[in-house]
Amino acid sequence: MDPVYVKPSEQATFTCTCVGYPKPTMNFAFFACDDVPWTNCSKSVQRSQVDQFGTRTPNTKNYVTIEQFAIPNATTAGYVVCAAENSEGSAMVQADLLIGDL
């Protein structure tokens, strides 16, 4: 996943891609970074903390899972975690959500 930069109240869309067999399921979570500096953004994330938040757009391919995850009105900076899991294992990736008026 790549970082996303949006203006306040714009939609932020993240794309997460995973290849696996059997086809993995994905979950997403958003973690706000309210502290300045972003001290809570450096904390490790456990798989149990990652659950759906926002809007998901699934695909129908057999081995590749590409899902988009949208935060409709982004107002708080933070990061999104994408977790993929199947019977063979799991993986997580995260990307920053940056908010600004540029």
DSSP state string for 23-78: PPEEEEEEEE--SSS-GGGGS---GGG----SEEE----SSEEEEEEEETT--S-E
What is the predicted pLDDT for the residue at 32?
A: 83
The residues of the chain scoring below 50 in pLDDT are: 39, 54-55
What is the predicted pLDDT for the residue at 18?
A: 87
The structure's pTM equals: 0.74
With beta carbons less than 8 A apart as the criterion, state whether 82 and 26 touch.
yes
What is the token pair recorded at 73?
């009105």
What is the predicted pLDDT for the residue at 19?
A: 87
Give me the residue label for tokens 């995973």: 18
Q: Residue 61 belongs to what domain range?
A: 4-99
- Domain count of the chain? 1
What is the predicted pLDDT for the residue at 55?
A: 47
CATH number for the domain including 94? 2.60.40.10
